[in-house]
Structure 1
Amino acid sequence: MTREKLLAIVGPTAVGKTALSLQLARVFDGEIISGDSMQVYRGMDIGTAKVSPAERKRIPHHLIDIKDPDENFSVAEFQALAIPLITDIYSRGKLPILVGGTGLYIKSVTRHYQFPEAAQDTAYRKKLAQRMKDEGPETLLHKLKELDPETANRLHVNDKRRIIRALEIIHLTNKTMTEYIKEQKEQIRESPYDLVMIGLSVDRQKLYQRINLRVDQMIHEGLVKEVKKLLDMGYGLEYTSMQGLGYKELIPYLKGEISLEEAVEEIKSRTRKFAKRQLTWFRQMPEIHWFDVTDEKEWNRNLLKITQFVEGKFPILKNINESS
């Protein structure tokens, strides 16, 4: 049976994934599926570095602007949406291109992970929600730290839904979310796709410089106004979406608690740490073919090198009519 072809482009934030995906989509007649956990939210454009509406008209993009900021979104839901999208795009003679920096989202699709999402106990969940309301989310987060410290350390105290979900999984399965993720990592499962995965890497200091410049550009483009608008619409830190980088750091500034300079420096610092975690995650994926794009002057040469590599893997999809 012929496997569906899938091109994935991964790497840390600010490394150049979007630019590469647009170029390869033109060359190989592709459609792009966003593998970013934040770009699903409407009204959160600058801080999530969404591709411009003009580019979205030229190249079809999927899984962008599909949720309001007060709606929940999980890796299991992402997987459930992305897998049939890949089939649909490929069935129309196009190349599906999965692009993103959220490692678990990418791997959930390329390896068809199985998540414990089916197990639910509505009564238990309501009980936890009431306790959280009565005693505060700190109480349940402390309980989760005793049972699953790794998951608890990843969650913000206001991420109430995920705290409750993590405790519910333990209650129903006697396994922690950390154990589920570890089991998935340990399973040697061949991808169901004819998969080519490109990873972009950059010298660490150069990457940090790019991150700093990107944050400055976001502020220049109106990130503060974007966050203020979301707050005025009633979206606060109680929502997972507002825990995103660039959003939660600006809220204290808008409340008059810190200066803009302090908020911007916090965004840069947390984004640099996030990029380091992304690299750690992706370095554990042996199927990634890495390309160093540190030298921006060599972008065209690197683009040609990557294009030729993909063409060698997917020769029948080369768009011979592409002139640029």
Structure 2
Amino acid sequence: MQTKGKLLVLVGPTAVGKTNLSLHLAEKFNGEILSGDSMQVYRGMDVGTAKASQKEQQQVRHHLLDLVNPDESFSVEEFQKHAYEAIAAIHARSHLPMLVGGTGLYIQAVTHGYRLPNIEEDVALRAKWNDFAEKEGNEALWRKLQEQDEVTAMRLHPNDRRRVIRALEVIANTGKPFSAQQVQQKPPYDILFLGLTMPRELLYKRINERVDHMIAAGLLQEVRALYAQGYGRELTSMQALGYKEIMQHLAGEISLDEAIERIKRGTRKFAKRQLSWFRRMDEIHWFDCTASDFQQEITSLIAGDFLAHRE
């Protein structure tokens, strides 16, 4: 019988404190961190994605960061492949792989082994939906998907135009909801799911403070540099929270204050969607970060019920 490798998964909404806890746990349990964030795969997008700093990456080995340039396409399937390869390498070093992030689809692609439908690209249909989004906006496009497949729509950010169009493309070519075509073949891992949460008012306050910190840390300069390198607003990467709004500001469409307010508002809505996604996963052990002993409880769970019992 094949021995199952351990995999620790740490999820939760943005700004809840996943990074700090993951660094602590990685040092305590000889772990290596895999980013479970769909935007941290892009090079040069550091401040706005809250990517681990160089100091943090030196402190603990990180994976699945800086895989492609902002103008390169990157799929869930590619992320899954990179993740499985990294996990195998971490197991070979007898270390603990820790998948940490807030992109639910990417997390579950790894933990639940999704096999996505192999439908060829429909150029005409993609052009049609792109034109629709240009005229009516990404939210209107997302609502078209919501009408046909609410499950998939709830998994995707309205600004993730490429994946929204892909889902509509699959539906049009198969006549079935995209969500109904995701075959699961669970990987051979023994997985412990941990989820972080806190009262919503406090989370929203932390989100607002994080956005202010990103501006102070150079988000404006980062986006300006990306634009100067030829990365335009039409790219999926530049539709990410923070980047889209700063691009609008640089184009003279909105003030910096308005851009910041839109980022804060959009991030709060995004955190709400993240929580909705993860709340549907029954495997997750939830911990309130405001509890004084939450780190001790997590440490005990990992050391006792998880790592102590090996196949």
TM-score bracket relative to the smaller structure: 0.7 to 0.9
2-structure distance, mates of 1:143, 1:7: 32
2:260 corresponds in structure 1 to 264
1:92 corresponds in structure 2 to 93
2:144 corresponds in structure 1 to 145
Shift of 1:75: 1.6
1:199 maps to a residue whose letter is G
TM-score (structure 2 length as normaliser): 0.88
1:217 corresponds in structure 2 to 213
Shift of 1:217: 0.4
Count of aligned positions: 304
1:238 corresponds in structure 2 to 234
1:109 corresponds in structure 2 to 110
1:198 aligns with 2:200: no
TM-score (structure 1 length as normaliser): 0.84
Aligned residue among 124, 128, 139 for 1:127: 124
2:274 corresponds in structure 1 to 278
1-structure distance, mates of 2:253, 2:134: 22
Shift of 1:173: 2.3
* SS in structure 2 at match of 1:198: strand
1:245-304: CA deviations, max 9, x gaps?
Answer: 111011121112211111111100010010011111111111111111125xx3xx4322
1:33·1:99 contact (CA, 8 Å) conserved in 2? yes
1:284 maps to a residue whose letter is R
1:23 corresponds in structure 2 to 24
Q: Structure 1 residues 143 and 313, CA, compared in 2 at 3 Å: closer, same or farther?
A: closer
* SS in structure 2 at match of 1:291: strand
2-structure distance, mates of 1:24, 1:314: 13
1:145 maps to a residue whose letter is K
Structure of higher CA gyration radius = 1
2-structure distance, mates of 1:142, 1:233: 29
Aligned residues: CA RMSD: 2.9
Q: Structure 1 residues 274 and 163, CA, compared in 2 at 3 Å: closer, same or farther?
A: closer
Q: Structure 1 residues 71 and 193, CA, compared in 2 at 3 Å: closer, same or farther?
A: same
Q: Structure 1 residues 128 and 304, CA, compared in 2 at 3 Å: closer, same or farther?
A: same
Shift of 1:226: 0.7
2-structure distance, mates of 1:256, 1:3: 54
Q: Structure 1 residues 237 and 149, CA, compared in 2 at 3 Å: closer, same or farther?
A: farther
2-structure distance, mates of 1:243, 1:290: 31
2-structure distance, mates of 1:32, 1:255: 37
2:14·2:271 contact (CA, 8 Å) conserved in 1? yes
Q: Structure 1 residues 115 and 13, CA, compared in 2 at 3 Å: closer, same or farther?
A: same
1-structure distance, mates of 2:127, 2:294: 55
What percent of counterpart residues are identical?
52
2:211·2:260 contact (CA, 8 Å) conserved in 1? yes
Specify every segment of 5 or more residues in structure 2 that has no aligned partner in the other structure, as ranges.
none
2-structure distance, mates of 1:157, 1:291: 30
Aligned residue among 215, 222, 225 for 1:226: 222
1:250·1:263 contact (CA, 8 Å) conserved in 2? yes
1:14 corresponds in structure 2 to 15
Q: Structure 1 residues 39 and 235, CA, compared in 2 at 3 Å: closer, same or farther?
A: same
